[in-house]
Amino acid sequence: MLADHTPIPTLGTADLPRAREFYEGTLGFTPGPDAPEGVLYQAGSSSFLVYPSGFAGTNKATAMSFTVSTDEFDGVVADLRGRGVAFLSFDLPVGSWADGVADFGNGVKGVWFTDPDGNILNVDAMG
């Protein structure tokens, strides 16, 4: 069954060299083996694929999330800011925004940002 297998998020890009610069240079991922149509990056115990696509950035929802511990969250956010990553904000049904960080209470926080193609990425802490 599919539930027994680890999924691999896939993110489309209109410009693979530009995407590599962002994922490797800005976010600090190390490229794994080149895939036939893109680059595979290791992330924790999983991986994700960045590949050329004519539909890059058309998803208006979060495409990939990273969960970090509450203790690590502020440091990860500061590191991303230091690398020039700008955070998004939007209307929330609950919680509040402060300096680009959504706070949902009880230690649950999140930030959202886009890659160069407009794919929406998220980092959250789950209290």
The CATH number assigned to the domain holding 100 equals 3.10.180.10
pLDDT value at residue 6 = 82
Residues 114 and 82 in one domain: yes
Same-domain status, 87 and 127 = yes
Q: Are strands 108-114 and 120-126 parallel, antiparallel or unpaired?
A: antiparallel
31-50 pLDDT per residue, tens: 997 677 899 999 999 999 99
Reduced to 3 states (helix: H, G, I; strand: E, B; else coil), residue 70 is: helix
H helices of the chain, in order, are 16-20, 70-82
Residue range(s) defining the domain that contains residue 90: 62-127
**Residues 69, 49 share a domain:** no
Is the full-model pTM beyond 0.85? yes
Using DSSP's 3-state secondary structure scheme, residue 89 falls into coil
For the chain, how many structural domains are there in total? Answer: 2
pLDDT band with cut points at 50, 70 and 90 for residue 1 = low
